[in-house]
Structure 1
Amino acid sequence: MERLRSDDPARIGDFVTLARVDADGSRGVPDRRYLARSADGGRTVLVCLPPPGGDPVRWAAEAQQAARLTQPGFWPVGQLGGTPAFPWYAAPYRPALPLPAVLAAHGGPLPEALVRTLGGTLAEALASAHVVGVVHGGVCPAGVLVTACGPLLGCFGATRAQASAGASTAQGAVLDSGCLAPEVAAGGPVDRAGDVYALGAVLAYAVTGHTVPEQQEIPAGLRDLITACRSRDPHSRPEPAGVLAELLPGAAYGSLAGATEPVSLPGRVVAALSRQSAQLLAAALPTQER
């Protein structure tokens, strides 16, 4: 969490902004995300805005679509607001770290066992969305928010929302280019196979620190799966349910995404989440009013 800058909004709708969720200059962040509090002090929320240079109309359309996605495993969109030129959405806030911050707190790539758990949870969430015909379209390291109970997917539709008129998806996107499937980078539509490609990039990032690592950097136990997810041929990529089965053999579908029990996280990550909790409490104090 970072201090507000002079060019950050002091208020967004009825919410008073308290802090930036992402560090200034963070790469691959497809939203501007703020910790904010309702004017009466009763609610603390995460408020998201379109990124600089993004298409606010497309971004608002994606936010409206995301509000329909209520399955476990996704950061919920609780309230939509704003104007066509300045749209925003708010979600209940809980202490969380974007995946890049998790790696920074850990001091490098995550252990394979933890990557399997986190990846399996993300795969299950995507599977539940695909079953009802919804494509996420924004899977990326910065869009994975890790809580004490596991990861949640945010940044819904970021790939689609960032494509500007007259530009290809790759040119208009602020997402890490390593998360864009070749057919999407070439201007094709974002579909379920594109979500799986991006999931493979997130797995690669979690276990190596890069979305496009060299083969030898990937642990042998995950190498074949990540390679399959990142196949240039969309038809050769596995379904999310298949990714879950490979990562966590025997895991019951429906038992991971939306878990309410704490997962086993490295001590440094737990400490970082604890600091987030302390910052959240401090921000909620009246003396912190901005």
Structure 2
Amino acid sequence: MTLARLDADGSRGVPELRYLARGADGGHTVLACLPPPGGDPTRWAAEAQQAARLTQPGFWPVGELGGTPAFPWYSSPYRPALPLPAVLAAYGGPLPEPLIRTLGGTLAEALASAHVLGIVHGGVCPAGVLLTACGPLLSCFGATRANPLAESTAAQATRLETGCLAPELAAGGPVDRAGDVYALGAVLAYAATGYTVPEWQEIPVGLRDIVMACRSRDPQGRPEPARVLAELLPGAAYGGLAGGTEPVSLPGRVVEALSRQSAEVLASALPSQGR
């Protein structure tokens, strides 16, 4: 039973349909995801199966897989989470630099841990970042092994539209780690300005160098995720951010939005009186 859309109506750059829903047993609340309109359900299902094997810290888990080849879906246990565009909407604009540094460093650590295993996310974008009380998680996978499948046409179109597709990928190159770093730069730019492709002077001075390095047109000129982490959070211990279980410091308006979502979902999921 569908309770609500995770993404606001008219949201751009969302590469799948995401719903807060009650599980089939009626006792569990889940995040249910389906292929985007016009997407290839077979390819989407294959990506979901691959992403289900990605259990690294910092990634939103792909739980139960189901449906048919024509109508696949997957669900994950619910926890209060806001897509990054909803976070900016709740806050009222671009985020404060300390939060951007924490968010970017955590995402960089998650990507580094995946890249070590030869896994490329392939779908990093603002809508794919889900902020929880304990920090951000990467979703909207597209996650693939570094050597097999090319990125799906629907995913490429979505990321090209949102400024998250690296130039070499737009030209037909393979999905690779450097493309993930380019997209991470777009996410940092979005968090700092509200745009994935802002003017240089719009980016806060303290973030300009690392954002522009990530968004270099030359893949060889982009930093590794571990360096992005070091630049954003000097002195941070690698392995202590992604998948954290302790609450992080969030602005009050963002905490309020997470709490409101949780309360609304809980109220919707409660059984009716007399049943």
TM-score bucket (shorter structure) = over 0.9
Amino acid at match of 1:213: P
In the alignment, the residues of structure 2 paired with residue 267 and residue 19 of structure 1 have an alpha-carbon distance, to the nearest angstrom, of 23
Contact 1:29 1:174 in 2 (8 A): no
Task: Give the secondary structure class of the aligned counterpart of 1:178.
Answer: coil
Q: Residue 179 of structure 1: SS of its match in structure 2?
A: coil
Using the size of structure 2 for normalisation, the TM-score is 0.94
Amino acid in the other structure paired with 2:36: P
Which residue in the other structure is 1:8 paired with? none
Q: Is the 8 A contact 1:29 1:175 kept in 2?
A: no
1:216 corresponds to which residue?
A: 201
Q: 1:32 to 1:287 in 2, by over 3 A?
A: same
Q: Which residue of 2 aligns with 1:112?
A: 97
Alpha-carbon separation, structure 2, partners of 1:142 and 1:176: 13
Q: CA deviation at 1:37?
A: 1.2
**Is this contact kept in 1: 2:51–2:143, CA < 8 A?**
no
In 1, the alpha carbon distance for the partners of 2:158 and 2:40 equals 10
- Residue by residue over 1:155-208, the C-alpha shift from the partner in whole angstroms, topping out at 9 and shown as x without a partner, is 0007966416xxxx75x4366431000011112211100000000000000001
TM-score by length of structure 1 reads: 0.89
Report how far residue 82 of structure 1 moved.
1.0
Letter in 2 for 1:254: G
Aligned-partner SS, 1:34 = strand
Name the amino acid aligned to 1:163: T
SS of equivalent residue, structure 1 residue 152: strand
Q: Which residue of the partner structure matches residue 213 of structure 2? A: 228
Corresponding position of 1:153: 138
Distance in 1 separating the partners of 2:24 and 2:31: 14
State the AA in 2 paired with 1:50.
P
Shift, 1:39, TM fit: 2.7
Equivalent residue runs for 1:237-252 within 5 Å: 237-252=222-237
Distance 2:207 2:57 in 1: 25
Q: 1:174 to 1:236 in 2, by over 3 A?
A: closer
CA distance in 2, matches of 1:25, 1:198: 22
Equivalent residue number for residue 42 of structure 1: 27
Instruction: Map 1:132-171; keep pairs closer than 5 Å.
Output: 132-157=117-142, 162-163=152-153, 170=156
User: Quick one: distance in 1 between partners of 2:133 and 2:160?
Assistant: 25
Match of 1:62 among 47, 66, 73: 47
Equivalent in 159, 179, 187 of residue 194 of structure 1: 179
SS in 2 for 1:195: helix
In the alignment, the residues of structure 1 paired with residue 99 and residue 48 of structure 2 have an alpha-carbon distance, to the nearest angstrom, of 30
Q: Can you give the 5+ residue segments of structure 2 that lack an aligned partner in the other structure? A: 145-149
CA distance in 2, matches of 1:278, 1:249: 37
Q: Which moved more, 1:175-184 or 1:241-250?
A: 175-184
| Cα drift, residue 40 of structure 1 | 2.4
The residue type paired with residue 29 of structure 1 is V
Q: Percent identity?
A: 82
1:96 equivalenced with 2:86 (yes/no): no
Q: CA RMSD in A?
A: 1.6
Q: Which residue number in structure 2 is paired with residue 11 of structure 1?
A: none
Structure 1 residue matching 2:73: 3-state secondary structure:
strand
**2:104 is the counterpart of 1:83:** no
Q: Distance in 2 between matches of 1:45 and 1:222?
A: 36
Q: How does 1:25-40 map to 2 (within 5 A)?
A: 25-40=10-25
Question: How big is the shift at 1:105?
Answer: 0.6
Letter in 1 for 2:38: G
Distance 1:141 1:35 in 2: 19
Counterpart for residue 147 of structure 2: none
Q: Distance in 2 between matches of 1:220 and 1:114?
A: 15
The worse-fitting range, judged by mean Cα deviation, of 273-282 and 195-204 is 273-282
**8 Å contact kept, 1:36–1:44:** yes
* Cα distance in 2, alignment partners of residues 97 and 156 from structure 1: 16
Structure 1 portions without partners, runs of 5+? 1-15
Amino acid at match of 2:90: A
